[in-house]
Amino acid sequence: MAKNFSDKYLSNLKPQSKIYRIRESKGFAIMVRPSGIKTFYYIYEVGGKRKELNLGTYPLTSLQQAREKYNDAVKALFNNKPLVKEPETPPIPEMAVKDLMDMYIIDSKKDDTPRWSAIKMSIFVNKIRRWLKRPIASITKTDAIQLIDKERECGDGAMRNTYKALHVLFQYAEGREYNVRNPFAGMKKIKPSLKNRDRTRFLTEDEIKIVWSGLSSGARPIGKATRRALKLILVTAQRPGEVAGMHRREIQGDLVGHTLGKDKESTW
């Protein structure tokens, strides 16, 4: 079924496990690769044989530019003139870091917790401001190392979050075949401090019972939400940061009426 192309429609096309094509009308179509690259095509016939003409890669080639190339190709075919071909290999977009960042934020928003999404936004806005107008392929390993070295001054936690957010950002670019090598790849070998430290201290069973009893008694001025979060950490062994940033949509099942023990404070 033919579709009416628009920038919103094209931007929302998601890659699948195999290449697929969508036609607008009269042979004007777009092809979406598993890597996420989208290429405009003019599909036509000559002597009963189907042929395809590459019209450019979106969004490097805009929808308006692709339509103009399509119209020129239709006229040339009608007048028995040679068609102007784009390179068969999709051109590599000279994408700026800001454009990559905007695309990544939209695609990852549904998968991130609100807390991690906020952390990444803060890193993108505050830590790589000088990179935003640079082509993604221009960011080097030296750039990445210098940034991580500077972040060390803010503490190990801030440094690891910055590394994690930017590593995933450039990994996203690699996955979409933007001809960029992830400058943060292998960084943990260069900067061992990026590795999470092994914990050497664990609560014993008796200590857990004491902590649980204290949380249930409300002896200390701790809010109900904090007490519930701490109990959930004890029960599930989840990371405190993950529990603190948890959203209702991440919880499956009906929690109303369930308790973690006999005390009323543990009701969810």
Tell me the per-residue pLDDT of 28-85, one tens digit each, with 9 for 90 and over.
Answer: 999 988 777 889 999 988 878 888 888 888 888 899 999 999 999 999 888 888 776 6
Query: Cα(142)–Cα(135) distance, rounded to whole angstroms?
Result: 15
pLDDT exceeds 50 at position 12: yes
Mean pLDDT of 77-103: 72
Name the least confident of 97-106, 134-143, 176-185: 176-185
Query: Rounded mean pLDDT of 202-214?
Result: 80
Which band of pLDDT confidence, cut at 50, 70 and 90, is reported for residue 259? very low
202 against 262, higher pLDDT: 202
Amino acid (1-letter code) at residue 107? D
- Alpha-carbon distance of 121 to 139, in angstroms, equals 19
How far apart (Å, rounded) are the C-alpha atoms in residues 91 and 89?
A: 6
Output DSSP code: residue 176.
T
pTM assigned to the model:
0.46
CA distance 102 to 8: 14
The letter for the amino acid at 250 is E
Quick check: 180 pLDDT over 80?
no
Distances (CA, A) of 220 to 21, 29, 207, 209, 234: 62, 65, 17, 16, 18
Top-confidence residue, 199 or 149: 149
Kindly state the helix (H) or strand (E) to which residue 39 belongs, with its residue range: strand 38-46
Domains of the chain: 7-78 (3.30.160.390), 97-194 (1.10.150), 205-266 (no CATH)
Q: Helix axis angle, 114-127 relative to 156-175, nearest 10°?
A: 90
Percent of the chain scoring above 70 in pLDDT: 81
DSSP string, 187-240: HHHH-GGGSPPPP-----HHHHHHHHHHHHHT-S---HHHHHHHHHHHHH---H
Residues 6+ apart with CB under 8 A from 229: 240, 243, 244
pLDDT at 256 over 70: no
The answer to whether 13 and 40 have CB atoms below 8 angstroms apart is no
Tell me: the pLDDT tens digits for 234-255?
888 777 767 776 766 666 666 5
What is the model's pLDDT at position 264?
A: 45
In this predicted structure, the answer to whether residue 187 has a pLDDT above a threshold of 90 is no
Q: Other CB atoms closer than 10 Å to residue 128's CB: what's the count?
A: 20
Q: Is the pLDDT of residue 87 over 70?
A: no
Q: Dihedral sign for Cα 43, 46, 51, 52, please.
A: negative
More confident residue, 185 or 255: 185
pLDDT, tens digit, for every residue of 129-178? 999 888 888 899 999 999 999 988 888 888 889 999 999 999 888 877 66
**Distance, CA of 211 to CA of 184 (rounded, Å):** 40
Q: Are 72 and 85 in contact (CB under 8 A)?
A: no
